[in-house]
Chain A
Amino acid sequence: MALRSDSPPNYLRGVRRVLIGTFAVLLIGLFLLWRIDNARVEQFRIDLVDRFVPGFEWTTKPVAHVARMIADLRAYGRIYEQNTELRRELQRMQGWREAALQLEQKNAKLLALNRVRLNPRLTFVTAEVLADSGSPFRNSAMVNVGRIDGVEDGWAAMDGLGLVGRVAGVGERSSRIILVTDASSRVPVTIRPSGQRAMVSGDNTPSPTLEFLDQGDELRPGDRVVSSGDGGLYPPDILIGQVFTGKDGRARVRLAADTRRLEFVRVVRSVPPAVVEGPGGLIGPLRPATPAAVGSVSE
């Protein structure tokens, strides 16, 4: 029992046990606090992260760069196939480009005829992704814009093409974006062309599921899914992706945004639509029913 000789004496063990118990009670209390008053604890968390994570930029940047280089190197292996593939794609795209140009001209003409004013409030802040959640519990990303840039909780985030997620937690110089793939994410959507309303709900897989469909049999693979703007959570008509049937037979959405290789995101500055309350000034004030008022009108 020579090994046992350097273990602590008995009274120290008692102290240890008490300390462990204290820590355990404190941590359980902290977890319960997080569970009960989630919003406040999450705000505290985001403030802490805000203080520290932007300072890590010098470490995260080179590593992310190297990782991207390795991923690109892997692509060298099949450069020939890729080349032919690209050439074919280019040919197809040229056709599309022609169509797009024609449509653009037509659109410009129609807009001029219509005098349409596009919504000037739908602008965005471009942000760089600093870090991801790094654990299987959340699908989220940290970006380098915050309250100082005017970002607010609940704003939508897109990459160049489609919806990425929404801002959940804003710090002074950074904010956290919960991706649409996260298990807690729900996006009210419209499916084109059938016009059905549904809910895109994340389940921590790369393609979130479609739920609360009215008529599932009207759904076709390849249908476009765009945000509906219901509930005022997301601006309407942001592209989310295309419908397909997952391996488990459920309707899922193949995201238009590439959430796996996020580098930059656009945080869309959304202003809640004006709410119409009451008749406004259109109908005019209620007239007093007294004869004196009638007299004043006839003057």
Chain B
Amino acid sequence: MSGRGLPGPVEAVLLPAIGVGATIAMTMPLDPGRVTPPDLVYCLMIAWVVRRPDRVPLWAAPLLGLVADILLMRPIGLGALGLMLATEVFRRWALTLQMQPSVFTWIAAIAGYAAMLFGMWLVLGATFVEGPSLARLGGSVLATAIAYPLVVFGLVWCLGIKARGGSA
């Protein structure tokens, strides 16, 4: 397997670079207000950490989350915290998930995303911040569910980020 894919250092730089790129992509003025864009950074982190749990550095999730929080006008720190916790949970499950069919990973990732948003919504409510409605967060979950397979496709087929265990 070591012959395929990218060398370690390149991979370590690639993840943050793509993450920042994805954040910029989310700020593009396509259709403000109507369509909720998918959370590409979340898709990227989860898809990567499930395939290469030992190659995703610990600081990547909080850092990328913070960049996304700042650029996307989200409550600062909260999104980064959610992303980090989700990444660590999936890092722990990675070896188990690799043995399941990828549809299962997809469902798990979306359930994780919904749980993360709901948690953020609860925290915002508890600290009296006027947050988005649950319906709008639902739209975000849906968009992310659609985007996740595309991100996985990009990672696996374009960059060769595959699981060490064998199955893609």
| Residues of chain A having any CB pair with chain B under 8 Å | 3-4, 6-8, 16, 19-20, 23-24, 26-35, 41, 45, 48-49, 52-53, 56, 59-60, 63-64, 67, 129-142, 176, 179, 181, 183-184, 203-204, 206, 259-262
Question: Within the assembled complex, what's the spacing in Å between the Cα atoms of A20 and B84?
Answer: 8
Question: Within the assembled complex, what's the spacing in Å between the Cα atoms of A183 and B136?
Answer: 12
Question: Within the assembled complex, what's the spacing in Å between the Cα atoms of A12 and B74?
Answer: 33
Instruction: Report B2 CB to chain A, min CB distance, Å.
Output: 12
Query: CB-CB < 8 A to B105: which residues of A?
Result: none
Interface centre among A4, A139, A179 (most CB of B within 10 A): A139
Q: List 6 A-B contacts (CB under 8 A).
A: A3-B165, A56-B24, A129-B29, A134-B27, A137-B73, A203-B133
Q: Are the CB atoms of A27 and B77 closer together than 8 Å?
A: yes
Question: How many A-B residue contacts, CB cutoff 8 Å?
Answer: 154
New A-B pairs, 6, CB < 8 Å, besides A137-B72, A203-B133 = A3-B95, A26-B62, A45-B73, A49-B71, A137-B131, A141-B29
Query: CB-CB < 8 A to B65: which residues of A?
Result: 27
Question: Within the assembled complex, what's the spacing in Å between the Cα atoms of A105 and B129?
Answer: 52
Taken residue by residue from 26 to 42, chain B's Cβ proximity to chain A (1 for < 8 Å, 0 otherwise) reads as 11111111101101000
Interface centre among A27, A53, A259 (most CB of B within 10 A): A27
Tell me the B136-168 residues at the A interface (CB within 8 Å). 136-137, 139-140, 164-165
**CB contact under 8 A between A30 and B37, given known A134-B28, A136-B140, A184-B130:** no
Q: Are the CB atoms of B77 and A31 closer together than 8 Å?
A: yes
